[in-house]
Structure 1
Amino acid sequence: MTSTAIGLPPLALDRLPAVTAALAERAAEHDRDATFPTEGFDHVHAAGLLTATVATRHGGPGAGLSDTVRILRALGAGDPAVALVTAMTLLVHAAEARTPAWPAASYAGLLAEAATGPALVNALRVEPELGSPVRGGLPATTARRDGDRWRLTGRKIYSTGAVGLSRLLVYARTDEDPARVGSFVVQAGTPGLSIEPTWNHLGLRASRSDDVILDGVPVALDETIGLAEPGPAPARPDPVIGAWGSLGLAALYLGVAGAARDWLTGFLHERTPTALGAPLATLPRFQSAVGEIEAALIGADTLVSALAAGVDAQDVEAAERAGVAKLLATRAAINAVEQAVALVGNHGLTLDNPLNRHYRDVLCSRVHTPQDDSVLAATGRSVLDRHPAAPRSPATKGN
């Protein structure tokens, strides 16, 4: 266990199996009812997992990416909705640990709250017209100067964990000329802030990724992060920041696939058709199929863990490969659960068994940044830039 100077709960990685089990107990209920798993975050908080990446200079454990991957894999196996909101919170703390950007008093207030209970944070960036800012464009959400404060007006969609967030980092533009763009720190319960329950998704239903409506929400003038005039993207963005998101989310969905594998193996041991007179687990066909699933998950787990360790060791190449690792890992996770469903037929799709939930949840891995098309295009450009066209021989010129 790691002690902390400001009263944060100590990080207890040895409690991960118990936390996974506790989350799994109510995951089906929250999925069925699309209810936010509030009690799940109490378990995560009590084990110090929500504040694992708080920097040591702030009295936190200062966990690296390797531990974060381990945490999110375990939580994903229990309840991926809890894992996803936890991931967003851990990534915010990790970014602040690497590159301080929060107003000092604001971050201190967040940590004080985190010392006594779950203090969830997420960056709200996606809008109906804009889509994801990663694809380019300026937000429609506007911050208007009003005396000694800003007034935020706009709508954010796909706001993961909105109903349970303590702090909302709202991506917006100012109404100045020229406009500045950045994140505005909004506390839950601020007047003018409301949540519209629009989330009616196939997977990760308990994440409550609802719409957030801002109607003149007041924010102190200094409660901003990275507020500046928009400019061209850096020629070489910091790959470490992206690696945390890519590998952390990959681990989360590998946790989902691991839970699906565990249910499958239990089913194969228990299912004994009358004509066979023995469990399905004794048949070579099922043994080989489970072996295929396990081989893919071992490969993906190993890749994600190895690159996370490389990032912690400041290996730039490891960080640059994180997007490809996310692509490979999430494909492996989806394929593993699909194979499990195919093996057991109707048993895998019935709502009485958890495999259908794991399948719906693991499909959500495709929507997170960086998405597959962006990863493949960037990787392809990099390869083509490194390997220019070879000079043609005289015999081939003109062909």
Structure 2
Amino acid sequence: MTNTATRNLPTDSEPQPAHDLPVPDLTDETLAAVTAEVAETAAAYDRSGAVPVRGLEAAHRAGLFTASVGRQYGGPGLGPRETARILIALGEGDPSVALIVANTLAAHATQAANGHWPKDLYDDVLRRSAAGPAPVNAIRAEPELGAPARGGLPKTTVRRSRSGWVLDGHKSYATGGAALAYHVVWAVADEPDGDPAAPRVGHVIVPGDLPGITWVDTWDHLGLRASNTHDVRYEAVELPEEAFVEIPRGADGVYRDPAAMAGPGSFGHPALYIGAARAARQAFREFARTRVPAALGRPIATTERIQSVAGEIDLQIAQAETLLHGALLRVEAGDESILPQLPVIKVAIARSVVAAVQTAVAALGNPALSRRNQLERHLRDVLCVRVHPPQEDAALLAAGRRLLET
């Protein structure tokens, strides 16, 4: 399912990348085939809560796990709009798979842009990625702190050791669980010569198989049940000097959480929920075309009421897709005027996908809420769109202040 003919290879004067990762085939037909394969096991993984191994393997075989790896590293270097298409397709199959892949693609895209990973560690994750699924996730939330985008600093610390650093802390909502090949852990540097009032803050790049990492099975959620978004503890995890990557403070000396900013790369999360809404639309269509009440004597799809509901579902999904792709196209074209509006565009997409699925469920009533009906699962999954930063209230407040202060 990959196509290497269109790879942009380096010229003779450029250094040759150490890795040769596939360029994924993003034709509609191929993406639809991946969606279908991932969807085959989605319901079973939703019920068991296990890591969705088969879905992750399907994404890997299609070259989707490494689609955003930079060309300088031997990857295809696909951008936010291509990434969004991938995540819509995966989200339509299984949003839990899509979320794990989305976080991994975001990590690779950040590395392509900033190159902050130590070379040996990034080479290792690319070697693992060539062999099989190698999920990566930025692990930031904590039980006491809550969502980092709301402000505050983590209690998780790295302290100096003779060989580098020692990591200690407790994190929440670490999507991917024990399947993660690498953790990118948000932490504060505990240094003898540091400023206690303004400690260094950064990300610690941690191989997932190191001693001292313990998973706590806390994830028993309404939706995305197979995402394995458990708690994780780090106890005296030893790391080399280069594993800590500082996040610089602003010119005013204030630390600002990068996760609170909605840039083009953050549109992978709303994209996967568009996929969930598309899956709900298809489930609604199948039910309406096959449901023949005795009193009606024909499929409910032939009634004007259900046809109008189908039109409303389609409207909401079209609105979400147009907002997503339109915003990213404007960014690609260099239109910086849209950048301050990206957070509220994400809010609008979230509202649309939730409305689409809720409309389908409301129209069908009890059958749509049965565990035997796919719509029940799609509803639970799509509601999770609201948890990704920036959350709706924060985005609207920031937009309102910007509007009223100018």
Aligned partner of 1:244 in structure 2 is 265
The whole-number CA distance in structure 1 between the counterparts of 2:296 and 2:269 is 41
Aligned CA distance change for structure 1 residues 42 and 171 (closer, same or farther; 3 Å): same
Superposed displacement of residue 226, structure 1: 2.4
3-state SS, counterpart of residue 43 of structure 2 = helix
Map Cα deviations across residues 84-112 of structure 1 (whole Å, 9 max, x no partner): 01110111111112222112222122112
Superposed displacement of residue 240, structure 1: 8.4
Aligned partner of 1:375 in structure 2 is 395
Where do 1:241-390 residues align within 5 Å? 242-245=263-266, 247-386=267-406
Aligned partner of 1:232 in structure 2 is 254
Map Cα deviations across residues 104-126 of structure 1 (whole Å, 9 max, x no partner): 22212211221121111000110
Superposed displacement of residue 227, structure 1: 5.1
Aligned partner of 1:106 in structure 2 is 121
- For residue 34 of structure 2, what is the amino acid of its counterpart? V
3-state SS, counterpart of residue 40 of structure 2 = helix
Superposed displacement of residue 234, structure 1: 6.3
Where do 1:23-102 residues align within 5 Å? 23-102=38-117
Asked if 1:13 is matched to 2:26, the reply is yes
3-state SS, counterpart of residue 156 of structure 1 = strand
Candidates 192, 195, 198, aligned match of 2:215: 195
* Contact 2:188/2:202, CA 8 A, preserved across alignment: yes
The whole-number CA distance in structure 2 between the counterparts of 1:110 and 1:8 is 12
Where do 1:145-156 residues align within 5 Å? 145-156=160-171
The whole-number CA distance in structure 2 between the counterparts of 1:222 and 1:314 is 35
Q: Percentage identity across aligned positions?
A: 44
The whole-number CA distance in structure 2 between the counterparts of 1:382 and 1:349 is 41
Superposed displacement of residue 309, structure 1: 1.8
Map Cα deviations across residues 295-329 of structure 1 (whole Å, 9 max, x no partner): 12111111111111222233222333221121111
* Contact 1:103/1:224, CA 8 A, preserved across alignment: no
- For residue 243 of structure 1, what is the amino acid of its counterpart? P
Comparing 291-300 with 3-12, greater Cα deviation is found at 3-12
Comparing 325-334 with 311-320, greater Cα deviation is found at 311-320
Map Cα deviations across residues 324-358 of structure 1 (whole Å, 9 max, x no partner): 12111111111111111111111100001111000
The whole-number CA distance in structure 2 between the counterparts of 1:243 and 1:372 is 17
Segments of structure 2 that go 5 or more residues without pairing to the other structure are 10-16
3-state SS, counterpart of residue 111 of structure 1 = helix
Superposed displacement of residue 197, structure 1: 0.8
The whole-number CA distance in structure 2 between the counterparts of 1:314 and 1:89 is 26
- For residue 200 of structure 2, what is the amino acid of its counterpart? R
Q: TM-score, normalised by structure 2?
A: 0.91
The whole-number CA distance in structure 1 between the counterparts of 2:294 and 2:247 is 68
Q: How much is the aligned-residue C-alpha RMSD, in angstroms?
A: 1.9
Superposed displacement of residue 134, structure 1: 1.6
Segments of structure 1 that go 5 or more residues without pairing to the other structure are 387-399
Q: How many residues align structurally? A: 384
Map Cα deviations across residues 128-180 of structure 1 (whole Å, 9 max, x no partner): 11112221111111112120121111100000112211000111112123232
The whole-number CA distance in structure 2 between the counterparts of 1:160 and 1:238 is 15
Q: TM-score, normalised by structure 1?
A: 0.92
